[in-house]
């Protein structure tokens, strides 16, 4: 902030952009700097943006003025209300939640910076404003220790008993992408749900965590609403690309994305949009090649959206006719074993059969949703193995391995030890990997 006239805090929903901006504003005000805050989440039309901003800059009381954007445009005289009232502006202007009216906000910020050299603008958004000179601060999810501390402090404040190990707590944090909002929702649930029950139920994180807290903004009232807000900002073709990419169970390359997209056009442009909107991150793999990564919360939302589309190949697998029984259903237990073995082996082997793994995952989800009572506890414990293995970072699969090893069923324990051995071997711990394999054979 000391060296740039415009800084935009960019990150996915629930990562803490507004909280960070509020802390910056608090410190600036404490240092004697004039601060004006404009909340834009409730502005429904781009036409309302200039008037809403101008109303705060013109006469709004610094640090406390938050006009009701639901009242519509705040009218002032002149063709460019922001430019007119910003000429003598000094201090910090915070524009919170800009993503849904991005172009209108960018235009207003350009006017402020053109006429007010002593003003600084701090914006929060899920995508950059795209102005010359803008400094983008990408806010990532919390580090493990910070995520665990937040979970424990919020759970303790809510009266929950902290009767879990550090490993269990970190496993929950990782399943929730270390996102502050998701962790706060989970902490509220821990008042009446054990951490083991929550970990077991997180295959439907939206159903588990929605409406866990009261008093949140509308766009954050539930985990679903948080992601839905981002979804609604996208063009239809980019939404469909998101849905199709959600079936890829690990970080992926451009070529993998093009394969998963099928006939969708302009995949590269769509990937760029998803990165800009903080729905994908772009990192370098161990081989130096760029790889895209999708948060698990974002991935599950995309899978739910995809499942709502007309029936695909997984529907044929789950509901197809059993041999010799016209109109009958295939044996659910045998079908689940087949899907588990195909999906698990292809995933662990890492041989690039993304579509195969995706269909297995979707078929397993649908099988559990529609025929869960026909499946044994053993299959219930093992069925999510293909969804829990990250080929790009096998060490991250250890929480799933530990859960399986702790199961009562020896066969489930054997699968867990095998997965643990694969994870250990991936980081060069060959001695312990061989020990796990030996125990797995005994199991």
Q: Helix, strand or coil for residue 188?
A: helix
Q: pLDDT tens for residues 370-382? A: 777 788 888 877 7
Least confident of 178-182, 239-243, 359-363: 359-363
- The side-by-side arrangement of strands in the sheet containing 119-125 is 35-39, 91-96, 119-125, 6-10, 135-138
Q: What is the mean pLDDT of the chain?
A: 78
Residue 293 pairs with which residues in a beta bridge?
281
For residues 159 and 191, is the Cβ–Cβ distance under 8 A? yes
Percentage of residues of the chain with pLDDT beyond 90: 30
The closest of 12, 7, 8 to 281, measured between CA atoms, is 12
Q: Helix, strand or coil for residue 92?
A: strand
The closest of 381, 419, 418 to 399, measured between CA atoms, is 419
β-strands 290-293, 91-96 pairing = unpaired
For the whole model, what pTM was predicted? Answer: 0.63
The yes-or-no verdict on residue 222 having pLDDT over 70 is no
Least confident of 151-155, 235-239, 301-305, 354-358: 354-358
The yes-or-no verdict on residue 283 having pLDDT over 50 is yes
Position 231 confidence tier, pLDDT thresholds 50, 70, 90:
confident
* Average pLDDT estimate for 231-248: 89
Report the pLDDT value the prediction gives residue 68, as an integer from 0 to 100: 41
The yes-or-no verdict on residue 300 having pLDDT over 70 is yes
The yes-or-no verdict on residue 410 having pLDDT over 80 is yes
What single DSSP character describes residue 46?
G
Q: pLDDT tens for residues 169-191? A: 998 898 888 988 888 888 888 87
324: alpha, beta or left? (left if phi > 0; alpha if psi -120 to 50): left
């Amino acid at each position: 902030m000391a060296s740039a006239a415009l800084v935009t805090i960019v990150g996915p929903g629930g990562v803490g952009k507004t909280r960070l901006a509020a802390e910056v504003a608090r410190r600036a005000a404490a240092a004697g700097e004039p601060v004006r805050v404009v909340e834009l989440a409730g502005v429904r039309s781009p036409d309302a943006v200039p008037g809403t901003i101008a109303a705060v800059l013109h006469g709004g009381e610094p640090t406390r003025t938050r006009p009701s954007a639901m009242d519509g445009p705040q009218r002032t005289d002149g063709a460019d209300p922001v430019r007119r009232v910003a000429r003598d502006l000094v201090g910090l202007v915070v524009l919170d939640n800009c993503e849904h009216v991005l172009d209108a906000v960018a235009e207003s910020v350009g006017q402020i910076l053109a006429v007010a050299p002593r003003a600084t603008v701090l914006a929060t958004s899920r995508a950059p404003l795209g102005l010359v000179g803008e400094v983008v601060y990408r806010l990532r999810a919390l580090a493990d220790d910070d995520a665990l501390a937040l979970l424990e402090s919020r759970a303790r404040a809510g009266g929950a008993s902290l009767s879990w190990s550090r490993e269990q707590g970190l496993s929950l944090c990782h399943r929730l992408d270390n996102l502050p909002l998701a962790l706060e929702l989970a902490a509220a649930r821990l008042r009446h749900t054990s951490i083991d029950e929550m970990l077991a139920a997180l295959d439907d994180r939206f159903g588990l965590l929605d409406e866990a807290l009261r008093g949140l903004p509308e766009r954050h009232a539930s985990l679903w609403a948080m992601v839905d807000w981002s979804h609604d900002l996208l063009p239809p073709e980019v939404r469909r690309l998101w849905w199709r990419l959600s079936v890829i169970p690990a970080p992926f390359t451009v070529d993998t994305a093009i394969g998963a997209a099928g006939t969708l056009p302009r995949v590269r442009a769509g990937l760029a949009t998803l990165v800009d909107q903080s729905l994908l991150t772009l990192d370098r793999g161990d081989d130096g090649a760029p790889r895209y990564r999708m948060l698990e919360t974002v991935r599950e939302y995309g899978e739910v959206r995809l499942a709502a589309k007309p029936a695909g190949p997984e529907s044929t697998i789950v509901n197809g006719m059993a041999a010799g029984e016209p109109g009958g259903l295939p044996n659910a237990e045998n079908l689940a074993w087949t899907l588990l073995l195909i999906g698990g082996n292809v995933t662990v082997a890492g041989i690039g059969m993304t579509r195969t793994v995706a269909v297995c995952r979707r078929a397993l989800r649908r099988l559990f949703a529609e025929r869960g009572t026909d499946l044994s506890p053993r299959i219930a414990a093992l069925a999510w193995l293909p969804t829990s293995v990250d080929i790009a970072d096998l060490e991250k699969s250890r929480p799933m391995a530990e859960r399986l090893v702790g199961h009562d069923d020896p066969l489930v324990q054997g699968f867990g030890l095998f997965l643990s051995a694969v994870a250990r071997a991936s980081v060069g711990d060959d001695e312990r990997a061989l020990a796990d394999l030996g125990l797995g054979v005994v199991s």
